[in-house]
Amino acid sequence: MTKAPFTHALITGASSGIGEALAHKLGKAGVGMVLVARRKERLDAIAAQYANCEVLAADLTTDAGVGAVLTRLRDSTRTPIDLVVNNAGFGTSGNFADADPERLSNEVSLNINALMRIAHEAIRQMQPRGRGYLLNVSSIASFQAGPGLAVYSATKAFVTSLTEALYEELRGSGIRVTALCPGLTHTEFQSISNTSGLGVPGLVNKSLTAVSTFAPRGLARRIAGFATRLR
């Protein structure tokens, strides 16, 4: 990876999957990082590999967890964050009427509310500096209703729509906003959401390495195409 156009990144959902892959890519490029996820031991293992790397263990389905991230973004005594990767999220598969409503509420809290609040604070902190980058991780599921993944698809439609609106609002401000919309990627997401048995062709399973190369610059939306399998 060539020298990054930012110096300090905050990544949510950094303990596994796409978030972890992006953390390694940025860490190898010398970018300072704040790694956010629930599982501190996993974050510690990643952070130990890179200099200038903070760990922030937080459950973003809770107000306290989101509040901890907002506090770090506002902290003027520490290195300002000029890249925010809103990656944390999960899905629930199966018929909507059969799903646990509490789980669905947590899914909406994480995929929509936490992402929105973090994006809002990130932009407010970047505006006085006149520069910054916000990457919201969405999904190709955002472009079509997904029976069996009804709430997940709806939350990702929100992410893509919000991102495209923010892109227009912030045009010319020096703050770049992009929605990364990967296809199905071999991560823990599949086991957590129970989507591994949906019969999706292997062609659409993405390599984490391939997906993590899509750190796009200046685009409202970037779709990670049907590239490779996990390798």
CB 45 within 8 A of CB 21: no
**Cβ neighbours of residue 226 under 8 Å, at least 6 residues apart?**
183, 203, 204, 206
- In this model, does residue 151 exceed pLDDT 70? yes
d(CA 155, CA 149): 10
The pLDDT value given to residue 226: 37
- The strand pairing partners of 85, in sequence order, are 11, 135
d(CA 14, CA 56): 10
- In this model, does residue 208 exceed pLDDT 70? no
> For residue 49, is it within any domain?
yes
Which tokens go with 47?
A: 């952070």
The pLDDT value given to residue 69: 99
Between 47 and 180, the more confident residue is 47
Active site residue 152: yes
Domain of residue 32 covers: 8-224
Q: In the Cβ-directed half-sphere of 47, how many Cα atoms lie within 13 Å?
A: 23
CATH number at residue 52: 3.40.50.720
Q: What percent of the chain has pLDDT over 70?
A: 77
Structure confidence by residue, pLDDT tens digits, 187-205 = 454 454 454 444 443 433 4
**Largest CA-CA distance found in the chain, in angstroms, rounded:** 50
> For residue 231, is it within any domain?
no
Q: Exactly one of 50, 133, 152, 167 is catalytic; which is it?
A: 152
pLDDT-derived band at 18 (thresholds 50, 70, 90) equals confident
User: What is the count of structural domains for the chain?
Assistant: 1
Between 144 and 134, the more confident residue is 134
Which amino acid, residue 78? R
Which tokens go with 157?
A: 């439609």
The pLDDT value given to residue 183: 66
- pTM to 2 decimal places: 0.83
Structure confidence by residue, pLDDT tens digits, 154-191 = 999 999 999 999 999 999 999 999 998 886 655 454 45
| Strand ranges across the sheet with 53-57 | 53-57, 32-37, 8-12, 83-86, 132-137, 175-182, 221-224
